[in-house]
Amino acid sequence: MALPYKWQWRVDRWKNALRGFFGVGGDNQPRPKLCPACGALVGISATRCHECGTSLRFSLAALSKGVSGIFGGRAPATTGLLIVNIVMFALSFIATMKAGQGGGLSILWGMNQEALYRLGDSNPYGIFVAHQWFRLVTAMFLHGGLIHIGFNMMVLMDIGPVVEEIYGSARYLFMYTAAGVVGFLLSVFTGHSSVGASGAILGMIGVMIALTTKRGGATMQALRSRLISWVVSIFVFGFLLRGVDNWAHFGGLAAGFGCGKLLTDREPANASERQTAYILGWLAAIVLVASFVMMMLHLQDKLPGT
Catalytic residues: 198, 249
Say how far apart CA 32 and CA 69 lie, in whole Å.
18
Whether 23 contacts 57, CB under 8 Å: yes
Say how far apart CA 54 and CA 148 lie, in whole Å.
44
Say how far apart CA 116 and CA 111 lie, in whole Å.
7
Whether 196 contacts 143, CB under 8 Å: yes
Say how far apart CA 78 and CA 98 lie, in whole Å.
30
Say how far apart CA 279 and CA 287 lie, in whole Å.
12
Whether 167 contacts 175, CB under 8 Å: yes
Q: Bridge-partner residues for 55, per DSSP?
A: 48
CA distances from 209 to 120, 205, 280 (A): 30, 6, 21
Say how far apart CA 9 and CA 3 lie, in whole Å.
9
